[in-house]
Structure 1
C-alpha cells in the first residue's frame, strides 16, 4: 500500500517537473498576432497583422513589419491555475519590471492575458474597459529557411 502511494506521488512529481520544459517548448517559434484587446478595445487590424512574436529559449523578440521593436525575457509557471507567465522587458520605460500574465494553448493558438506593470496578475482571460489588461491571441507560423521541414 505504501509503495503504491509513493509511486503515485513520484509519478505526479515527475509530471509537474516535466510540464515546464513541455510548455517552454510549446512557446518556441514565430507567432502572428490574430487579435489584441486592450482595456476593452480591439487593436487596429492593420497594425496587428504586422506584429509577430519570435521566441527562442526564454527570450521574445517582438517585430513590426519584420523589424524588432521590443524584447523581453519570460518565466513560466505551468503548475499555476491558470498557467502563469512573467514578462521582463529588456528595454524601454518598464525595463526590468515584471509584467504579470496568464497563458493557455487552445486549438493550436496561444492566448496571453497580461496586466500593466505593477498591477496584479490576471485571474481570467479578460481585458475589459478599465482593466489595465491586454488579451492577445497568437497563431504559430510555419518555420522558414533552409532547416524548415519540407513537404513531400
Structure 2
C-alpha cells in the first residue's frame, strides 16, 4: 500500500515539474519592453523600444540598439506564490551578479518581472515604485 505522504510527494513533484516546464516553454522567445518602472520613475517609451530580451532554454541575452549588453542564465521556481526567477549574469553589465525576482505570465505574450536592484531578496509584490525596485513588462516580439 502506498502511504498518503509518499503519494502527495509524487503528485506535488509532477504538478510543479509541469508548471516549471510550461513556464520555461512560454519564456522561450524574443521579448520587447512595453513598460518599465525603476524606483518609481517611468522609463521613457523611446528607451524601452531600444531594448530586446531573448530567452532560450536556461539562457538569456539583453540587447540595446542591436548590441548584446548582458548575457546569463536564469532559473524558475514556478510553484512559489508569486513565482520566482533567479537571474545570474555571466557577461556584460550584470556579469557576476545574482538577481532575485518574481514573475507572472499573462497568456503567452506578456511577461512581468519585478526585482530588487541589490538582488539579495525576492520582492513580495509587483511594485516598481519603492526604492531599489524594478518592474518591467515585456511583450512577445511579433514575427515579421
| TM-score under structure 1 length normalisation | 0.82
Q: How much has 1:97 moved relative to structure 2?
A: 2.3
Corresponding position of 2:87: 87
Tell which structure's C-alpha radius of gyration is larger.
1
Question: For the Cα contact (< 8 Å) 2:32–2:53, is it kept in 1?
Answer: yes
How far 1:119 sits from its partner (Å)?
A: 3.2
1:118–1:109 CA distance, 2 compared to 1 (3 A): closer
Distance 1:41 1:14 in 2: 41
- Deviation by residue 1:7-41 (Cα, 9 ceiling, x = unmatched): 96333431112222111111100001000000000
Is the counterpart of residue 64 in structure 1 residue 77 in structure 2?
Answer: no
Gap regions ≥5 residues in structure 1: 145-152
Whose strand fraction is larger, Structure 1's or Structure 2's?
2
CA contact (8 A) 2:70 2:94 kept: no
Residue 75 of structure 1 aligns to a residue whose secondary structure is strand
State the distance in 1 between where 2:72 and 2:2 align. Answer: 45
Say whether 1:123 aligns with 2:124. Answer: yes
| Aligned twin of 2:137 | 137
SS in 2 for 1:90: strand
Superposed structure 1 runs of 4+ greater than 6 Å apart: none
Distance 1:50 1:93, change over 3 A: closer
Task: List aligned pairs for 1:37-48, cutoff 5 A.
Answer: 37-48=37-48
TM-score by length of 2: 0.87
Taking a change above 3 Å as real, the CA distance of residues 32 and 95 of structure 1, as seen in their structure-2 partners, is: same
Deviation string, structure 1 residues 35-81 (Cα, Å, up to 9, x no partner):
00000001111111111101111111111222211112111110111
Instruction: Output the aligned Cα RMSD.
Output: 2.2
How many residue pairs are counted as aligned between the two chains?
142
Judged with a 3 Å threshold, the aligned counterparts in structure 2 of structure 1 residues 91 and 7 are, in CA distance, closer, same or farther, namely: closer
